Structure 1
Amino acid sequence: MGVVNRLVGGMPIPRMVRVRQEFDGARLADVGGAVRETLRGSGVLRGVRPGMRVAVTAGSRGIANIALILRTITEALREAGAAPFVVPAMGSHGGATAEGQLDVLRSLGITEDYLGCPVESSMEVREIGRTPDGRPVQIDARAAAADGIVAVNRVKPHTSFTGPYESGLMKMLAIGLAKQAGAEVCHQEGYANMAANIEKYGRAILRDAKVLFGVAILENAYDQTCEVTALPPEEIAKREPALLLRAKALMPGILLPNVDVLVVDRMGKNISGLGMDPHITGCFATGYASGPPRPGKLAVLDLTDETHGNANGIGVADVTTRRLLERFDPEVTYPNAITATLTQAVRMPLVMDSHKLAIQAAIKTAPGFDKARIRMVRLRDTLHLSEIFISEAMLSDAAANPRVEVLGEPEELSFDGEGNLF
């Protein structure tokens, strides 16, 4: 990398300033209490009978308070006389293996000891019916054999398509609960048809599976639980579109315009399905979803520990680091891309030897000649947008924005002896 490093190594890096962005911070003070209240108030527990075995879904995302929410639901089911158990419902994530999916749940704090009930992981599926156009509908075999199913998921915009149902309860049923085999069927027609397929397969599962109820979770811009809503099966398809619109209104973002270079410290499946939420970065893997303008260049520096080597979404970046590449596990990453038919999401960007060189490469290749006035933003990840770093060239915009507070003075980025930030 001698020649490559020389090409970018002299590029000046702007001084950065820490700023605070202000978003709607309303949140639930007692998440467990709110879950119990919505379960009681909605009447969904009336369908639970003593002795029923009930499968409760657990996905792979880093949803705030997810372990507590699942424990509260399983406790309420036990109190109603049922025998709940949790099933990983994450399509092909976790390397599309039963043990890999258990590892994902453990990393999220979802364990049998914490929940007080079994966690049963299997990639086996059972066909439970057909869609109106004759396609097979498959779900987790253990969930299919249970006396009831409870779907639990956060409702939020999807990273690769737009529709009335994106990430939420319908997707949890159609793709998460369908495991790798069913998720592959749902994805096979491509992202142009994903919104329609989520609804088609989701409605078929609501019709043919023993879904007792769903619990929809909304988060505020600070990655905190702000709403939980229990829905009987007949209300899931009716009410989820409104919950999605509410979730979109709660989304955070980068409040300053015209970003030349965006630096993201870490990405991972626990952050977003695409590793970095494109509704924050503006960098989408398909043309079937849209959001803020794309920055001139996107550099991502590392993977989270919780992603277990899954670098799905790296393909939207322009530059990355050797450190990230060394942590990248194709056995964990590629099943997701193959199942979702989204191979562009795992293409490899420029790989540089250090954080410093990656940032310099992004600056050097960003459009425009005035590199001394580069407009650069640095994020910890796309879940944490409250405090970010901006370059000096953006200070006047920050001062003019009432939702942005400047917290310090411009400072040089501090790299270690190997050119890394952390």
Structure 2
Amino acid sequence: MSIIRKLLEPIPLPPMALIRQKFDDTRIDDIRGHVRRELERPGTLDRLKPGQRVAVAVGSRGIQNLALIVKTTLDRIKDAGAIPFIVPCMGSHGGATAEGQVDILKQLGITEATMLVPILASMEVVVIDTLDNGLPVYVDRFAMEADAIVVINRIKPHTAFRGPYESGVMKMIAVGLGKQKGAEAIHQLGFKHMAVNMPNAARILMRKLPIVFGIAIVENAYDQTCLIEALPIERVEERERELLVEAKERIPKLLFGQIDVLVIDWIGKNISGDGMDPNVTGRFPTPYAYGGPDVTKIVALDLTPESKGNAAGIGLSDFTTRRMVDKMSAEATYANGLTSTVCLPCNISTTLENDYYAIKAAVKTCNIFDYTTCRLVRIRDTLHLGDIQISAAMLDEARQHPDIEVLAEPGEWHFDDEGHLPKA
């Protein structure tokens, strides 16, 4: 037996109970109808002219109902007599290649066949201006040549900085439309200055490009669409600031202030830009963002297939598995860190042979005297926090919380012959 196994075998794993966390479940059921009504707002579709070529900027995030929202928008643009096409709007994602970005859109259900419009993907950009600090402001060549531009994105808190504008339409304009070069430029001075540089670049682009309107999306804590607004370009800055406040109130969260060990079944780029959302875990890649619970140790068990080997976020865990590392593409992962200038999420955390030993390692190192009292939480991923598992030591607290329902009493762990857990 190896020294690692000898150290970890005696460590007990606490019995786990199944609970349900309850959040506001307000959502939009008729997505298509809602988008169509939003596009009747003055300052949106009515500004398009027949025959205009319209670039619709679509990003890489796994936004619920994104394909339907995009398709409905494209159809309405056609109804107005304009000629839409899709521009991948995702900075350096997809391995910073046009082919990779088209593939990401395909994973999201967005293809030329499903959308019935061309996808014009290129990493070629144009410098349109510079910020006062000298940073160049880039824009995708195809978007630059369009008669009009529409930008679609979800509004949500960023994972690495705080400001009045974080992830949303403004960021899509400043970073996404700039492709790899634009993302690299905006990140060059680091996240310490992102709250200033990102919106300043977006303002330049909104002033100089024919961006007609944006479509802002907010999701509830169950990863469901709860708000969609079509914003005339002159309203984007003011309204996005308000929507970010609402989005922060609606993000999924762990309803426990202190956790010894957090086990995450899946991390991936389709879940968060950092693989696991730091707003949920409380583990941020920079000192310029904050929030979430106090978690001592984090275990990341596996990488989503949708990530295509991009394991950005693995470095935010304390322990991971050999399976995860074997699925990791260094090329895709490191490109993420080199572009954002934040390489911590791309580091490989302490790697154990399987789930069994990775979880035991976290319990052993979580700095508690009695391992049987470990406050351990297991989640599928940071997007799905409704039904989760908690250790027996947390049950009394859970029963007293008005927004938690205990679904099943504590039971033992079940690993397969290779030491892995069954996962949803």
| TM-score, structure 2 normalization | 0.98
Contact 1:42 1:230 in 2 (8 A): no
| Separation (CA, whole Å) in 2 of partners of 1:108 and 1:8 | 41
Query: 1:181, 1:224 → 2: CA distance?
Result: 32
Secondary structure of 1:41 counterpart: coil
Residues 378 and 389, structure 2, Cα contact 8 Å, conserved in 1: yes
> Deviations for 1:47-102, whole angstroms, at most 9, x for unmatched residues?
10111111111111110000110001101101101111111111001110111111
Structure 1 residue 129: Cα displacement:
2.6
Could you tell me how far apart the structure 2 residues matched to 1:132 and 1:261 are?
45
- Is the contact made by 1:42 and 1:231 (CA closer than 8 Å) also made in structure 2? no
The answer to whether the Cα contact below 8 Å between 2:135 and 2:186 also exists between their aligned partners in 1 is: no
Unaligned stretches of 5+ in structure 1?
none
Asked if 1 retains the 8 angstrom alpha-carbon contact of 2:256 and 2:293, the reply is no
Question: How far does the alpha carbon of each residue in 1:316-350 deviate from its partner, in whole angstroms, 9 at most, with x for none?
Answer: 11000000000001111111110100011211111
Indicate the residue corresponding to 2:348 in structure 1.
348
Secondary structure (helix, strand or coil) at the match of 1:421 reads coil
Q: Distance in 1 between matches of 2:381 and 2:130?
A: 40
Other-structure match for 1:202 = 202
Q: Which amino acid aligns with 1:408?
A: A
Provide the TM-score with structure 1 as the length reference.
0.98
Measured in 1, the distance between the counterparts of 2:163 and 2:257 equals: 26
**Residue 131, structure 1, aligned to residue 125, structure 2:** no
Structure 1 residue 326 and structure 2 residue 326: aligned?
Answer: yes
Matched, 1:160 2:160: yes
Q: Which amino acid counterpart does residue 105 of structure 2 have in structure 1?
A: L
In structure 1, the residue matched to 2:97 is 97
SS at match of 1:114: helix
Give the Cα–Cα distance (whole angstroms) in 1 for the partners of residues 372 and 72 of structure 2: 53
Aligned residues of 2:138 and 2:178 also touching (Cα < 8 A): yes
Determine the structure 1 residue equivalent to 2:45.
45
- The Cα of 1:134 is off from its aligned counterpart by 4.6
Amino acid at match of 2:99: E
Q: Could you tell me which residue of structure 2 aligns to residue 289 of structure 1?
A: 289
Residue 41 of structure 2 aligns to a residue whose secondary structure is helix
Shift of 1:5: 2.4
Partner of 1:159, secondary structure, is coil
Contact 1:45 1:80 in 2 (8 A): yes
Which residue of 2 is the match for residue 406 of structure 1?
406
Post-superposition Cα deviations, 1:209-255, rounded to whole Å, max 9, x if no partner, equal: 11011000000010000000111111111211101001011112111
> Which residue is 2:386 aligned to?
386
> What residue is the counterpart of 1:308 in the other structure?
308
Size of the aligned set, in residue pairs, is 422
Q: Aligned-pair distance for 1:7?
A: 1.5
Quote the offset at 1:133 in angstroms. Answer: 4.6
| 2:143 corresponds to | 143
Contact residue 155 and residue 216 of structure 1 kept, 8 A? yes
Give the Å deviation of 1:45: 0.7
Q: Contact 1:315–1:345 at 8 Å: present in 2 too?
A: yes
Native 8 Å contact 1:151 1:213 kept in 2:
yes
Aligned partner of residue 129 in structure 2, secondary structure: strand
Paired AA for residue 15 in structure 1: P
* Deviation of the 1:294 alpha carbon: 3.1
Q: Aligned with 1:128: secondary structure?
A: strand
CA contact under 8 A between 2:259 and 2:377: conserved in structure 1?
yes
Q: How does 1:69-88 map to 2 (within 5 A)?
A: 69-88=69-88
Deviation, 1:181, is 0.3
Aligned-residue CA RMSD in angstroms? 1.1
| 3-state SS of paired residue (1:200) | helix
CA offsets 1:239-281 (integer angstroms, 9 cap, x no match): 1110100101111211123210000000011101111001110
Greater Cα offset, 370-379 or 135-144: 135-144
In the other structure, the counterpart of 2:267 is: 267
Separation in 2, partners of 1:294, 1:399? 20
Give the Cα separation in 2 of the matches to 1:2 and 1:151.
55
Sequence identity (%): 50
CA distance in 2, matches of 1:176, 1:122: 12
Shift of 1:184: 0.5
Counterpart-to-counterpart distance in 2, 1:132 and 1:350: 42
CA distance in 1, matches of 2:94, 2:2: 37
Secondary structure of the 2:358 match is: helix
2:280 partner amino acid: I
Q: Is the 8 A contact 2:265 2:301 kept in 1?
A: yes
Check the 8 A contact 1:320/1:358 in 2, yes or no: yes
2: CA distance, partners of 1:165 / 1:316: 24
Describe the SS at the equivalent of 2:367. Answer: coil
CA contact (8 A) 2:218 2:227 kept: yes
Contact 1:268 1:275 in 2 (8 A): yes
Q: 1:318 to 1:133 in 2, by over 3 A?
A: closer
Residues of 2 paired with 1:239 and 1:42: CA distance?
15
Give 1:121 shift. 1.1
Deviation (angstroms), 1:119: 1.2
**One-letter identity of the residue aligned with 2:289:** A
- Is 1:228–2:228 an aligned residue pair? yes
